[in-house]
Amino acid sequence: MVRVRVRFIGTLRWATKMDETDLEVPEQTSIKDLLNRVFEMVDKEEDKSNAGQPQEFGRDMLILVNDVEVGLLKGFETILKDGDKVALIPTAHGG
């Protein structure tokens, strides 16, 4: 198992009811796997963005691993390592 710290920004802070959390995940866990786990933590009533659709969850987010956007790594297939810090930043916002 590896431990990663996940930070929730914007609407995800309200939807998860936390600022950040440490998660233990199996070795070789990808960002996609992590998003599936986080999806289960989201209060679907609080997050209206794509909360009802697990396959869409994460598409409208800026995702950083150790302050590097995952698009510069291996995208959703980026493998997490022990001690990684992941920030999930939804790009959708109210007006």
pLDDT tens by residue, 16-30: 899 999 999 999 999
Q: Is the pLDDT reported for residue 92 higher than 80?
A: no
Q: How much is the pLDDT for 5?
A: 98
Q: Is the pLDDT reported for residue 45 higher than 60?
A: no
Q: How much is the pLDDT for 1?
A: 95
* pTM for this predicted structure: 0.85
For position 72, which CATH number holds?
3.10.20.30
Domain carrying residue 48: 2-90
Whether residue 59 lies inside any domain: the answer is: yes
Whether residue 62 lies inside any domain: the answer is: yes
Number of domains in the chain: 1
Whether residue 77 lies inside any domain: the answer is: yes
Please state, in angstroms and as integers, the Cα–Cα distance from residue 63 to each residue in 10, 45, 95, following that order.
13, 22, 22
Whether residue 11 lies inside any domain: the answer is: yes
- Ramachandran angles phi, psi of 75, nearest 5°: 60, -140
Whether residue 86 lies inside any domain: the answer is: yes
Q: Do 24 and 1 touch, CB atoms closer than 8 A?
A: yes
pLDDT level of residue 55 (50, 70, 90 thresholds): low
Whether residue 95 lies inside any domain: the answer is: no
